[in-house]
Chain A
Amino acid sequence: APMFEARVESCITQHAWNGDRTMLAVCPNDNTVILLKKPSAEDGQWERVATLSEHDALITDIAWAPRTNRIVTTSQDRNAYVWTQHGTEWKPMLVILRITAAATSVRWSPDEQKFAVGSGAKVVPVCYYEDANNFWVSKMIKEHCSTVCAVAWHPNAPIVATASTDFRCRVFSAFLKSLDPKESKTPWGPAAKFGTLLYTFEAHGWVLDVAFSADGDTLALCAQNSSVSFIDVAAAASGSATAAQTLRLSELPLMKLLFLADGTLVGAGHCFSPLAFCRVNGVWLLQRKLVASKSMQKQESSISVMRRMFQSHASTGRTESANTLAALETVHQFPVCGLQHFNSTVTGSPAEFTSSALDGKIVGWSSDELAGAMQAMGVG
């Protein structure tokens, strides 16, 4: 059930929280990033603290490193910038990405010393800071046949998983000699040379997002044919044929995945409500769809109902009926394009994760057990 709902901009594509969840970075579907401060009081305003504008084209992804407090933004102008805070200002530093097409997504590694960028140039640059040159430089992971939509880092090992529109999810080694400890271990044995392809999974649709669970045991991916696949990393590393389990959904495709701390997977996308998946006896199942609880929906007085019917008749020429209802019942009215961990509160309402969509809303959700159990009783 959603815990809070805030319309911070007219439309939002990506969002990212800082380490202590006091500031929010959003991209309002153009070439800038706006930093907002969380309101402290009930009904407070989200105040704009800064605007990061250095890109020329639409910004495709924002990643905020929680401990080092650096923001990396990627854009369709094939650039990426790393922003560091100096007092109240944020200064950009160019990243030499060396790609010839748009960058689609970016993720900091768990140690926050490097980040991986998915791009339309069919390569994944892994970027790190080179002190000698005072620049962020990149090393390329190749082997993709089409645009890379998303990247995800393994929590413990120098491994990166990529999702691509060539219908495949691949896992590569991202071991950098200068940064990673020499004896790094991965589920596929000792760390291999940078760019080695460790595992490929073929889906039946464009793979849109990929995510590792918090302990690194499971790799989840979602595809355009409304399916979610769960890959047991240990089984995949040992070459077992039954490492992957695929769920076909009856909803529209998911675009983003997020593993919560307790091991449940949350996905959202063209089906406007988040779906929660959990593992029961080793088998992954769709647990439930997170919908707006009744208490969140405001009660409408009869006068406002009449006014709304008159307005719709005046503006569209047709009376509002069940078939032509203007707004949908779901909280989001547009596809969800961003999911982030939250685990904090906004004006007293706690939430585990937040979602952003092109309707400009940031909605905080929590999967509390009581609401889930009641939903299950109502459905099943």
Chain B
Amino acid sequence: HPPAASPAPLSFVVRRQPGRMTAKQGNFALKPYLDCIRETLNAALCVTNFASQIVERHNKPEIEVGTSSELLLNTVVIHRSDNEKVMIEPAVNSVRMSVKVKQLDEMDEILARKFARFLMLRADNFIILRRKPMPGYDISFLMTNFNLEVMWKHKLIDFVIQFMEEIDSEISAMKIAVNERARMVGYQYLKEFNS
């Protein structure tokens, strides 16, 4: 009999190494986290073309179909902190990767949601993006064997890592811009009453 359903996902907490950060490299603290994700994706993206064994003439991503438990590998969750994590769910012909972006207050939550929604509405152009995030995460990727047949695997992983590097900086830049705009509007309005 094939093995039972996979156990609870493995979790890794990636700790910063104190005393190694320099002022110049802003995302130096992010490097162990991204390296861990890169190595995990390198192993998880060993996918091959696999026709459905349940429906004849079908060839669907097994991670989305989910009915044959022996074709799904153990889920790996990589935590950077309590509120930043990545979940990688591999299968025989597809891998689903979900990202939870760091959100410290409500403004961050709104910005992350709007940013992710903007991307997910244009998921066709993105090719590997999933239209709905997995529950508990902000954004999800679905990489199938068909994507890997036309794209280099190491380049695809480079792209995902670069995306993760930039999403943090984009959201904090947007937050600064929103606060700046609010401050400017308030200043211009209250200037009238400051005679």
Chain A interfacial positions (CB closer than 8 Å to B): 11, 13, 29, 56-58, 60, 76-78, 100-102, 104, 120-122, 145-147, 165-167, 206, 224, 252-253, 255, 269-270, 324, 326, 328, 333-335, 337, 358
Q: Assess the B50–A78 pair: CB atoms within 8 A.
A: no
Q: Assess the A165–B42 pair: CB atoms within 8 A.
A: no
Q: Assess the A146–B71 pair: CB atoms within 8 A.
A: yes
For A60, the chain B residues whose CB sits under 8 A away are: 49, 51
**Which of these binds chain A: B15-23, B53-61, B170-178?**
B53-61
Closest to A337 in B: B48
Q: List 14 other contacts, CB 8 Å, given A78-B57, A252-B42.
A: A57-B51, A57-B59, A58-B49, A101-B54, A120-B52, A145-B1, A147-B53, A165-B92, A166-B2, A206-B92, A252-B43, A270-B46, A334-B152, A335-B48
- B165: Cβ under 8 A from any A Cβ: no
Closest to B48 in A: A255
Nearest CB of A to B60, in Å: 12
Nearest CB of A to B54, in Å: 8
Per a CB cutoff under 8 Å, which of B49, B56, B71, B153 touches A78? B56
Closest to B43 in A: A252
Closest to B71 in A: A165
27 A-B pairs whose Cβ atoms sit less than 8 Å apart in the complex = A11-B149, A29-B149, A56-B57, A57-B57, A57-B59, A58-B51, A58-B59, A60-B51, A76-B57, A76-B59, A77-B57, A101-B52, A101-B54, A102-B52, A102-B57, A121-B53, A145-B2, A146-B70, A165-B70, A166-B2, A167-B70, A206-B70, A270-B46, A328-B152, A328-B154, A333-B152, A358-B149
For B71, the chain A residues whose CB sits under 8 A away are: 146-147, 165
8 A Cβ contacts from B53-90 to A:
53-54, 56-57, 59, 68, 70-71
For A122, the chain B residues whose CB sits under 8 A away are: 53
Q: Assess the A120–B46 pair: CB atoms within 8 A.
A: no
Nearest CB of B to A105, in Å: 12
Q: Assess the A324–B158 pair: CB atoms within 8 A.
A: yes
In the complex the two chains form, what is the Cα distance from A334 to B92 in whole Å?
Answer: 17
Q: Assess the A120–B51 pair: CB atoms within 8 A.
A: yes
Nearest CB of A to B58, in Å: 9
- Chain B's interface size range is 20 to 34
Nearest CB of A to B107, in Å: 31
- B7: Cβ under 8 A from any A Cβ: no
Q: Assess the A146–B53 pair: CB atoms within 8 A.
A: yes
In the complex the two chains form, what is the Cα distance from A104 to B50 in whole Å?
Answer: 8
Q: Assess the B56–A145 pair: CB atoms within 8 A.
A: no
For A102, the chain B residues whose CB sits under 8 A away are: 51-53, 56-57, 59
Nearest CB of B to A352, in Å: 25
For A326, the chain B residues whose CB sits under 8 A away are: 155
In the complex the two chains form, what is the Cα distance from A101 to B154 in whole Å?
Answer: 32
8 A Cβ contacts from B5-45 to A:
42-43
For B43, the chain A residues whose CB sits under 8 A away are: 252
For B51, the chain A residues whose CB sits under 8 A away are: 57-58, 60, 76, 101-102, 104, 120
